[in-house]
């Protein structure tokens, strides 16, 4: 497989295989031969299961870690638009709305119905698509279909241009671009197996393994090749594929990472464009109307010429395990994620925290901006303690990476957060944040507030203690680096220097999620992984790679 920017698509046909029964009656299964828009497509569909003995391998890549890495880092964000003459430009706007999900790199691939072209780069969306910079500009990405990506690395070297998506490749059936939000827990095994069979990798990203699986598949048509590739994947993936004339959205069977479908009305009676995005905030920015989630295990394929839509159950259904941290921290508060309004969820987390861990005699409640805002508001209104913005965040500080000395690193919080002494001085202050990871930034915030004259500093965290790493597309430290894995709550309190510390209990979080609680992944709080990391598996097993 070689990367390319100009290739035309070719087609071949392969013999028909017998279909499997539909495991999810709510969706027409890929192998059920019930496609309303593509009857001829399904007549050539088959899916083969392979059995492999795979050994794990390490890529050996080193990532650059931001000094202010107290928070779990945003995974990635994807957007796809089909049926609009300015698809690439709309993609760039939608990526701005998803910038919080990744700031290391951005890219767009577009199709003019015959050729795919892409432009990728390191930095923010505004930097990558700066019209004053040399390179392939947005105006060169013509056509009615495009996919885009913003990246924060969870697999693959962070500062490598080769790892910035969408990936664009050419193979025997034409061109293919892919954008991926998530993380494959069996990537080392997949890569090792593919390399043993002759595949040559150009990146250290787990997404490239998906392209190799599709390129080596002998199934027909394209949807069948994707189905075969996905049968080997374990972990989290919300995927957008773009060919010369089709856009395909796929979500993993557990639905770890979000992916939504919307429609963008057009003037003069033209058919509405179809939009996919990681969050509804991207739909809102470009004026698209939210329609629904892409269901776990579902594939939605859109014909770029006719805008006909077909949907199928690509993979056998599994228990849904949506990432609860999307509601706690990742998603923007104006977004609808997993059908939940994010701001309402955060408000309820803070209000419940106030009920179970009040601070008698407190004078003021302040958030750690920006993610602690709605939780602090809920805490304030439930407790009756006044809400104030005691910390002001600077939005003009760039992405700051590891600095040469500890003294300079310690100034990082002061660069980003400024206390208002008139609000804090002489007060008993409740500081509400969404999470504590290593504890380093929390201790600096406590010192910052004390230095501003606060009499007492009480820390309240609107999520349970994080005790385990995430393997599903969230960049968290190793378990040994997680302060709540090493210490009890009293130990953490002493470490960060607060007068008191309380977390939202896991039982309360589950109660707030109600009947849906079992459908959320809470592995970072409980250590119970719905898809065990590959190192926990017997590498000599003869079972299929995909067993999640």
What value does the mean pLDDT take over residues 467-474? Answer: 86
Same domain for 266 and 153:
yes
Evaluate if residue 353 carries a pLDDT over 80. yes
Confidence check: pLDDT of 55 > 80: no
pLDDT bin (cut points 50, 70, 90) of residue 131 is confident
Residues 475 and 490 in one domain: yes
| In the predicted structure, residue 40 carries a pLDDT above the cut 80 | no
Instruction: Judge whether 371 is annotated as a binding position.
Output: yes
Residue 91 falls inside a structural domain: yes
Is residue 362 domain-resident? Answer: yes
Residue 285: give the domain boundaries: 3-8+70-320
Residues 217 and 335 in one domain: no
Task: State the pLDDT confidence band at 329, using cuts at 50, 70 and 90.
Answer: very high
Reply yes or no on whether the pLDDT at 422 is more than 50. yes
Same domain, 425 and 280: no
What is the per-residue pLDDT for 17? 31
Cα angle value 62/65/66 (rounded, 5°): 160
**Is the same domain home to 169 and 140?**
yes
Spatial separation of the C-alpha atoms in residues 128 and 135, rounded to whole Å? 10
Query: Is position 521 annotated in a ligand binding site?
Result: yes
Residue 230, annotated as binding a ligand: no
Does residue 64 fall inside a structural domain?
Answer: no
Q: What is the pLDDT of residue 56?
A: 27
Average pLDDT of 381-408? 75
125 has pLDDT over 80: yes
How high is the pLDDT of residue 533?
77
Residues 314 and 334 in one domain: no
> Does residue 532 carry a pLDDT above 50?
yes
Residues 309 and 339 in one domain: no
CB-CB contact of 376 with 353 (8 Å): no
- 158 within domain boundaries: yes
Give the lowest-confidence range in 83-87, 190-194, 471-475.
471-475
Question: Above 50 in pLDDT, residue 541?
Answer: no
Give me the helices (H) in 478-522, please: 483-486, 489-496, 506-513
Q: Structurally, how many domains does the chain consist of?
A: 2
* pLDDT tens-place string over residues 75-101: 699 999 999 999 999 999 999 999 999
Task: Give the number of other Cβ atoms within 10 Å of residue 130's Cβ.
Answer: 15
Please give the span between the terminal C-alpha atoms of the chain, in angstroms, as a whole number.
28
Q: Are residues 309 and 385 in the same domain?
A: no
What pLDDT sits at residue 269?
Answer: 86
CATH number assigned to the domain comprising residue 300:
3.60.20.10
Both 351 and 424 in a single domain? Answer: yes
Segment 150-189, tens digit of pLDDT: 997 654 455 678 889 999 999 999 999 999 999 999 999 9
pLDDT at 414: 75
543/120: higher pLDDT: 120
Q: How confident is the model at residue 51 (pLDDT cuts 50, 70, 90)?
A: very low
Give me the pLDDT at residue 159, please: 62
Q: Is 524 annotated as a binding residue?
A: yes
Catalytic residue list = 76
Model pLDDT, residue 157: 52
Residue 170 lies in a domain: yes
- The answer, yes or no, to whether residue 431 has pLDDT greater than 80, is yes
Q: Which range has highest mean pLDDT (41-45, 48-52, 264-268)? A: 264-268
61 is a domain residue? no
Q: How much is the pLDDT for 133?
A: 77
pLDDT of 268 = 87
| Cβ–Cβ < 8 Å for 41, 35 | yes
pTM over 0.85: no
Res. 25 pLDDT band, cuts 50 70 90: very low
CATH of the domain at 432: 3.40.50.2020
The pLDDT, as a whole number, for residue 28 is 38
Query: SS3 helix, strand, coil % of the chain, rounded to 5?
Result: 30, 25, 45
> Is 536's pLDDT higher than 60?
no
What pLDDT was estimated at residue 127?
Answer: 92
- For residues 548 and 512, the model is more confident at 512
Asked, for residue 152, whether it belongs to a domain, the answer is: yes
Query: Are residue 332 and residue 310 in the same domain, yes or no?
Result: no
**Which SS3 state, helix, strand or coil, does residue 399 take?**
coil
Least confident of 37-51, 243-257, 286-300, 406-420: 37-51
pLDDT at 8 over 60: no
The predicted structure's pLDDT at residue 71: 56
Mean pLDDT of 145-154: 86
Q: Is the pLDDT of residue 30 over 60?
A: no
With cut-offs at 50, 70 and 90, classify the pLDDT of residue 394: confident
Q: How many residues does the chain have?
A: 548
Residues 353 and 206 placed together within one structural domain of the fold? no
Same domain, 301 and 415: no
Query: Considering the chain, what percentage of its residues have pLDDT values greater than 70?
Result: 79
- 274-302, pLDDT tens digit by residue? 999 999 999 999 999 999 999 999 999 99
Max avg pLDDT among 45-49, 50-54, 117-121: 117-121
Structure tokens at 267: 């003037």
Say what the alpha-carbon torsion angle 423, 426, 432, 436 is, to the nearest 10 degrees.
120
The candidate with the shortest Cα–Cα distance to 164, out of 184, 180, 175, 143, is 180
- The b-or-e profile of 339-375 (16+ CB within 10 A means b, else e) is ebebbebbbbbbbbbbeebbbeebbbbbbbbebbbbb
Residue from 119, 148, 112, 182 nearest 277 by CA: 148
Question: What pLDDT was estimated at residue 3?
Answer: 40
112 marked as binding residue = no
Residue 281 assigned to a binding site: no
Does 119 carry a binding-site annotation? no
Give the model's pLDDT for residue 297: 96
Lowest-pLDDT choice from 153-162, 245-254, 287-296, 410-419: 153-162
């Amino acid at each position: 497989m070689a990367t390319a920017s100009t290739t035309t698509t070719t087609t071949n046909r392969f013999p028909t295989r017998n279909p499997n029964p539909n495991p999810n009656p709510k969706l027409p299964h890929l192998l059920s031969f019930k496609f309303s828009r593509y009857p001829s497509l399904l007549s050539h569909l088959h899916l083969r299961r392979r059995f492999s003995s795979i050994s794990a391998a390490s890529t050996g890549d080193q990532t650059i870690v931001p000094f202010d890495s107290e928070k779990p880092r945003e995974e990635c964000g994807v957007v796809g638009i089909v049926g609009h003459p300015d698809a690439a430009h709309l993609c760039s706007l939608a990526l701005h709305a998803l910038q919080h999900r990744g700031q290391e790199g951005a890219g767009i691939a577009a199709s003019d119905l015959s050729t795919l072209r892409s432009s990728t780069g390191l930095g923010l969306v505004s930097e990558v698509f700066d019209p004053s910079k040399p390179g392939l500009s947005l105006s060169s990405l013509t056509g009615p279909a495009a996919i885009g990506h913003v990246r924060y690395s969870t697999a693959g070297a962070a500062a490598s241009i080769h790892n910035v998506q969408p990936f664009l490749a050419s193979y025997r059936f034409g061109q293919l671009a892919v954008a991926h939000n998530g993380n494959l827990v069996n990537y080392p095994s997949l890569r090792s197996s593919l390399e043993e069979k002759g595949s040559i990798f150009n990146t250290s990203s787990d997404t490239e393994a998906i392209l190799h699986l599709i390129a080596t598949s002998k199934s027909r048509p394209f949807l069948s090749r994707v189905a075969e590739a996905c049968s080997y994947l374990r972990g989290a993936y919300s995927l957008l594929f773009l060919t010369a004339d089709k856009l395909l959205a796929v979500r993993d069977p557990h639905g770890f990472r979000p992916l939504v479908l919307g429609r963008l009305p057009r003037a003069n009676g033209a058919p509405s464009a179809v939009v996919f995005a990681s969050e509804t905030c991207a739909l809102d920015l470009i004026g698209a109307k939210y329609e629904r989630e892409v269901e776990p295990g579902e594939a939605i394929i859109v014909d770029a010429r006719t805008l006909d839509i077909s949907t199928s159950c690509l993979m056998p259904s599994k228990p849904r395990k949506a990432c609860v941290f999307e509601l706690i921290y990742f998603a923007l508060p104006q977004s609808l994620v997993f059908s939940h309004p994010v701001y309402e969820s955060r408000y309820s987390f803070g209000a419940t925290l106030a009920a179970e861990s009040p601070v008698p005699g407190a004078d003021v409640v302040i958030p750690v901006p920006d993610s602690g805002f709605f939780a602090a508001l809920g805490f304030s209104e439930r407790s009756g303690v006044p809400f104030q913005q005691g910390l002001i965040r600077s939005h003009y500080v760039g992405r700051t990476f590891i600095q040469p000395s500890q003294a300079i690193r310690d100034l990082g919080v002061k660069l980003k957060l400024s206390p208002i002494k008139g609000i804090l001085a002489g007060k008993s202050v409740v500081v509400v944040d969404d999470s504590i990871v290593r504890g380093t930034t929390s201790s600096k915030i406590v010192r910052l507030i004390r230095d501003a004259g606060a009499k007492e500093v009480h820390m309240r965290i609107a999520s349970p203690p994080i005790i385990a790493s995430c393997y599903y597309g969230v960049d968290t430290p190793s378990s040994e680096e997680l302060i709540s894995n090493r210490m009890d709550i009293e130990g953490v309190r002493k470490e960060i220097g607060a007068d008191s510390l309380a977390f939202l209990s896991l039982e309360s979080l589950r109660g707030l999620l109600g009947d849906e609680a079992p459908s959320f992944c809470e592995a970072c709080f409980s250590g119970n992984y719905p898809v065990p990391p590959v190192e926990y598996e017997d590498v000599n097993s003869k079972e299929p790679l995909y067993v999640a």
